[in-house]
Amino acid sequence: MAAKVAEEWLNICGGCEVSILDIGDALLDLLPQLEFVHMPVLMDHKYHGQTGEGDPHKIEIPAADVGIISGGIRNEKEKAVALAMRNSCKTLITLGSCACFGGIPAMANMWTLEEMYEKVYRGSKTTEKSPTPNKDLPPLTDRVYAVDEAVKVDVAIPGCPPSPDMIKEALTCLLTGKPFTLPEKSVCDECPTKREKKAAGGDIKRPLDGMTFKQNAPWEETRCYMEQGYLCLGPVTKSGCAGQTTEAGEAKVPRCIKGYMPCRGCFGPVKKGANPLVDMMGAISSIGLKPEQVADRRALLSRYVGGQGRLKPLPAKPAPAKK
Amino acid sequence: MSQQALAKPLDPSEIQNPDPLVVAFCCNWCSYTGADLAGTSRLQYPPHARIIRVMCSGMVHPNLVIDALTKGADGVMICGCHPGDCHYIDGNLKTEKRAEAIKLMLEDFGLEPERFRLEWVSASEGPRFAQVMQEMIDGVKRLPPSSYKTG
């Protein structure tokens, strides 16, 4: 019997759904075992009965064995949908960094809702000033929440976008009743680049600024990007983007590293609850780069993990004391 | 050094936080012994510090400092051996580099710079320990209670 799957997208770009498609040939093998009963990205399924005959205060999501949520929670409707998903699904998966940690939209958590409205509708130079829209719209929540802040989540698949291999792996594990967990390892643990000496010294370089590598040369000949002076979030980011299953003889290479770019940190903190900003600043200073050269530290180092209380508006500073 | 040489008492009108909590990480080889000396010499310093002995100031990861500050401490001080005196050769130089990162992060967490301090205190500097502790606690008393303080 096919497992029933409900998929919901909340505050999201749609990239996670594309990742599901990106599973490729293997998806064809999986599909007979899956029956999608609810998926707004593909199917026109209404929340209050197909012609609106249902209870307008109750969100109807058909019962399913597996629920997949992509995207964080930005407004009250999304919160209600997340709750309804939890009630309808036996196992709930959060797919992608937005659902797992708040993601890119959670960078808005650095400001209060009022400040954000002011900037978006009135503060920007290119915007025609207008009042904040409030008619027929679900009110925004006070900040962006990760899904696991609102409901209990059973499996988390991070990534921006998540790796198709990992989605396949997680679905296969669920179908066969095996647990799916990610090891508490950092990207550096899996990275095959060559490390020479710890202290790099010198200035932090911009990602496109003269990285030395030989394309298609063995990875053991490419020097660690961090040692070359680039800000790579590998040390504080969970591993796994390289894929858990590789064919024999093929080195696991984290995806950004494979593209000759430093890690951006989309898999979130290595340990649950850690703050990559603090860990990374410690790492930068320990290996001899200059921490003061990191531009826009809060946003850059918490780019994907602003939910779960990691990014907050700063407390108002009291007036400086007289000297 | 006599008691009179220590910092002047705070003016009561300046005190915004009469009962602060300061966490002091002291290295086993110099500063903790220095603190011990301050105690056995019966030097007076405010009672608001909680001293945590660590083997080397270089093992105090920025995590620990930021965690302390965001979970209720009003101030954090790291005390280590003077540069060149580290029992582990260069642990305190690592501390110095990390302290730069910590100072930057105070800003990111909306904390005042007075809430963190790195000081070198050798095993023979009991009076200096009492003095830096007095200065640190006076500085924290001048600030309102930490915005992260709960309950």
CA angle B125/B130/B132 to nearest 5° reads 90
Which whole number is the average pLDDT over A9-23?
92
A108-143 in b/e burial notation, b at 16+ Cβ within 10 A?
bbbbebeebbeeeeeeeeeeeeeeeeeeeeeebbeb
Looking at residue A211, its amino acid is: M
Q: Note the pLDDT of residue B55.
A: 96
Inter-chain contacts counted by CB atoms under 8 A, chains A and B: 47
**pLDDT, tens digit (0-9, with 9 covering 90-100), for A133-191:** 888 899 999 999 999 999 999 999 999 999 888 899 899 998 888 888 888 999 998 88
Residue A245 is predicted with a pLDDT of 53
* Residues pairing with A66 in the sheet: A5, A91
Q: Is the ipTM of this complex over 0.95?
A: no
Comparing C-alpha atoms, which of B30, B23, B20, B81 is closest to residue B51?
B23
Partner-chain contact A275 B144, CB within 8 Å: no
Question: Are A160 and A103 a contacting pair, CB within 8 Å?
Answer: yes
Query: What are the φ and ψ backbone dihedral angles of A115, each rounded to 5 degrees?
Result: -60, -40
What percentage of residues in chain A have a pLDDT greater than 70? 93
Rounded Cα distance between A305 and A144, Å, is 11
Confidence (pLDDT) at A211: 79
Q: Are B19 and B74 in contact (CB under 8 A)?
A: no
Q: Is B148 exposed, middle or buried (0-12, 13-18, 19+ CB in 10 A)?
A: middle
Structure-block tokens of residue A22: 């990106």
Half-sphere exposure of B109 (CA within 13 A, CB side): 29
Residues whose CB is less than 8 angstroms from the CB of residue A12 and which lie 6 or more positions away in sequence, other chains included: A70, A71, A72, A96, A98, A99
Which distant-in-sequence residues (6+ apart) come within 8 Å of A159 by Cβ? A19, A96, A97, A166, A240, A241, A266, A267
User: How high is the pLDDT of residue A200?
Assistant: 58
Task: Say how many Å lie between the first and final Cα of chain A, rounded.
Answer: 76
Reduced to 3 states (helix: H, G, I; strand: E, B; else coil), residue A17 is: helix
| pLDDT tens figures, A27-61 | 998 899 999 999 999 888 888 888 888 888 889 99
Q: How far apart are alpha carbons B101 and A286 in whole angstroms?
A: 9
Class of domain B18-141: alpha beta
Q: Do B105 and A318 touch (CB under 8 A)?
A: no
Q: Which residues of A touch B (CB under 8 A)?
A: 274-275, 277-279, 281-282, 284-286, 288, 291-292, 297-298, 314-315, 317-318, 321
Flag whether pLDDT at A82 surpasses 80: yes
Token pair 């600043």 is found at: A281
- What is the model's pLDDT at position A250? 63
Pairing of strands B116-120, A73-75: unpaired
Q: Output the DSSP codes for B10-65.
A: PPGGG-S-SS--EEEEEETTTHHHHHHHHHHTT----TTEEEEEES-GGG--HHHH
Taking contacts as CB-CB distances below 8 angstroms, the residues of chain A near B94 are: 286
Phi, psi of A8 (to 5 degrees): -135, 140
pLDDT at A320 over 80: no
DSSP state of A241: T
Q: What is the mean pLDDT of chain A?
A: 88
Say whether pLDDT at A8 is over 50: yes
Sorted by where each starts, the structural domains of chain A and their CATH numbers stand as: 3-111+135-176 (3.40.50.700), 183-312 (no CATH)
Q: Which of B94, B97, B104 sits opposite A297 (nearest CB)?
A: B104
In sequence order, what are the residues at sequence separation of 6 or more whose Cβ sits closer than 8 angstroms to the Cβ of residue A29?
none
Tokens 């040692």 sit at which residue? A227
Return the residue in A231, A275, A285, A312 with the most chain B beta carbons within 10 A, the one to mutate for interface testing.
Answer: A285
Is pLDDT of A76 > 60?
yes
pLDDT of residue B1: 47
CB contact under 8 Å between B100 and A285, yes or no, is yes
- Which residues lie across from B126 on neighbouring strands? none
Strand ranges in chain A using DSSP code E only, listed in sequence order? 3-9, 34-38, 64-70, 73-75, 89-95, 140-145, 155-157
**C-alpha dist (Å) from residue A250 to A214, A218, A262, A263:** 18, 11, 21, 20
Mean pLDDT score, A293-322: 81
One-letter identity of residue B115? R
Are the beta carbons of B87 and B56 closer than 8 angstroms? Answer: yes
Q: Which residues of chain B have pLDDT under 70?
A: 1-8, 150-151
Instruction: State pLDDT tens for residues A259-290.
Output: 889 999 999 999 988 999 999 999 888 888 88
